[in-house]
Structure 1
Amino acid sequence: MKTNKPSQTKEGAAADRTRKAQILRVAIETIATLGYAQASVGQIAARAGISKGVITYHFASKDEIMEQIVKEVYEAAVRFMQPIIERETVPVAVLRAYIESNLAFMAANRDHIVALTEIVGNAREPDGRPKFADSSDDSILQPVVEILRWGEQTGEFKAFSDFSARVAAITLRSAIDGVAYRLAADPNLDVAGFARELAELFLAAVRRPAWETETESKERG
């Protein structure tokens, strides 16, 4: 059970942040190595060289540790990807950057990604529902849909209905997320090569057909 903390000095607060970061780092390593089910608070404490009491001082439960890991991995991914994507100025390049930066983050943070897939795949609410995999939450699809709509407006991508844009976004996200599971099974996976191939495949699928462009040019001429 998480205890009430006394008021702290700045030095004490900094030490607390350092300790929490250590616990989360070791928790990620433990989950990536042993799997979600075996990554108990006791295992995390033993690997960190601290007592279980130190962990429960900072985190009320294993669930709270898992929630913090999910939050931190997603936030770290955004920090990694955003500047790469924002350097690009046209839809084709932005979509390629979105795909390749997603996978580059995975390659650079394998333990984080393996731990994330373990948590998302196994954590449950008391009624048995997945704790993190909410199929009704389309927020992760929205960036892809927006890029596709932008490319449609510029003429680089084909026309999409609301339904087909959502299908395309789900397909791409499923392919990207699938790499995380492959990476867990194969530490030597060529993620950079996978990213290049996935980008080419998806761009080929969403680009405006050449015959449409040629027909439009002839009609204008």
Structure 2
Amino acid sequence: MIAGQVARAAVPSRKAHKEVRRQQLIEATIDTLATKGYSDTTIAEVARRAGMSSGIVNFHFESKEKLLVETLSYLSEEYRSNWRNAVAKAGAAPAAQLAAVIEADFDRKICTRRKLAAWCAFWGEAKTRPAYLQHCGANDDEFQATVRDLCTRLVREGGYEGYDEQHIARGLDALLEGLWLKLLTAFRNVSREEARATAFAWLAMVFWKHFTTEGPIPHIEGGNR
């Protein structure tokens, strides 16, 4: 009886150990992509960084391509969950939700040089690799649709005349992508805080009834301050 209980208890322990190893290999892949680039990311290098053998990498992922797809899947889900959760916690006001999107994009957990470099490596290959395009494209589509919806709600709520919500949303998306690229290429000169401030400065110019350079204006009623 006791032996059976011990055996059953050991199963989730082995499963947990397997998940830990898989996560270690994914993190090592992100590190390798960030420092070596896509073409020089190999099973051997990932194994070396993780402190494991190439055989263990192949055991968990079978091939380099599957390892890379799983790494991209992890990055995509981490990013998506982060901004979704931020929006869900922001309340019902569109300004608060859009501010949450900005904060999530420059979250310390998400916006790191190694992860930005890994994203760039995958983006560079996405056009020729359907699996990468599926992950990157699905993430982008949902994010852009959410930003577009929030911009539409802000335009209506604030009574901004002559505004094209589609163009505004596309402009904000381009700004955020550009700031990520700036952080990657000039990390010593541009901080997450400065990138965040730039995004809010843009919002304050466009949605001036809803934002200051510090963030959303509280207690908006009928679109007026």
- Provide the TM-score with structure 2 as the length reference: 0.74
Unaligned runs of 5+ in 1: 1-7, 209-216
Counterpart of 1:195 in structure 2 is 196
**Distance of 1:200 and 1:54 partners within structure 2:** 48
Partner of 2:168: 168
Contact 2:69 2:132 in 1 (8 A): no
| Residue segments in structure 2 that go unaligned for 5+ positions in a row | 1-9, 210-223
C-alpha deviation, 1:57, in angstroms: 0.8
* CA distances 1:36-64 after superposition (whole Å, capped 9, x unpaired): 11111111112222221111111132222
CA distance 1:64–1:180, shift in 2 (3 Å): farther
Per-residue deviation at 1:145? Answer: 1.0
Please name the residue that 1:23 is paired with: 25
Distance 1:66 1:170, change over 3 A: farther
Q: Does 1:138 pair with 2:141? A: yes
Structure with the larger RCO, 1 or 2 (CA within 8 Å, 6+ apart)? 1
Of 92-101 and 37-46, more deviation after overlay is shown by 92-101
- Say whether 1:103 aligns with 2:106: yes
State the Cα distance separating 1:92 from its structure 2 match.
2.4
Q: How big is the shift at 1:108?
A: 4.8
Q: What is residue 116 of structure 2 aligned with on the other side? A: 113
Any idea what SS the aligned residue of 1:139 has? Answer: helix
Give the conservation status (yes or no) of the 8 Å contact 1:26–1:44: yes
1:204 matched to 2:187? The reply is: no
Summarize the Cα distance change of 1:69–1:13 in structure 2 as closer, same or farther, 3 Å threshold. same
Q: Given that residues 120 and 130 in structure 1 are in contact (C-alpha distance below 8 angstroms), is that contact kept between their aligned partners in structure 2?
A: no
Offset of residue 27 of structure 1: 0.7
Matches within 5 A, 1:72-91: 72-85=74-87, 86-91=89-94
Query: Do the aligned residues in 2 keep the contact of 1:31 with 1:118 (CA within 8 Å)?
Result: yes
Q: Deviations over 1:138-181 (max 9, x none)?
A: 33310111101221332265565xxx322222221121112222
Q: Find the aligned partners of 1:79 and 1:89 in 2 and give their Cα distance.
A: 18
Structure 1 counterpart SS, 2:52: coil
Matched residue, 2:215: none
Offset, 1:131: 3.5
Contact 2:32–2:45 (Cα < 8 Å) also in 1: yes
CA distance in 2, matches of 1:168, 1:60: 44
Q: Given that residues 100 and 196 in structure 1 are in contact (C-alpha distance below 8 angstroms), is that contact kept between their aligned partners in structure 2?
A: no
Distance 1:106 1:36, change over 3 A: farther
In structure 2, relative to structure 1, the CA distance for the partners of 1:93 and 1:159 (3 Å cut) is farther
Structure-1 residue corresponding to 2:182: 182
Q: How many residues align?
A: 198
Question: Which amino acid in structure 2 is aligned with residue 24 of structure 1?
Answer: I
For residue 95 of structure 1, report the CA deviation from its aligned partner: 1.8
User: What corresponds to 2:6 in structure 1?
Assistant: none
2:57 aligned to which of 32, 55, 58:
55
Task: Name the CA distance, whole Å, in 1 between partners of 2:41 and 2:161.
Answer: 47
Normalized against structure 1, the TM-score is what? 0.75
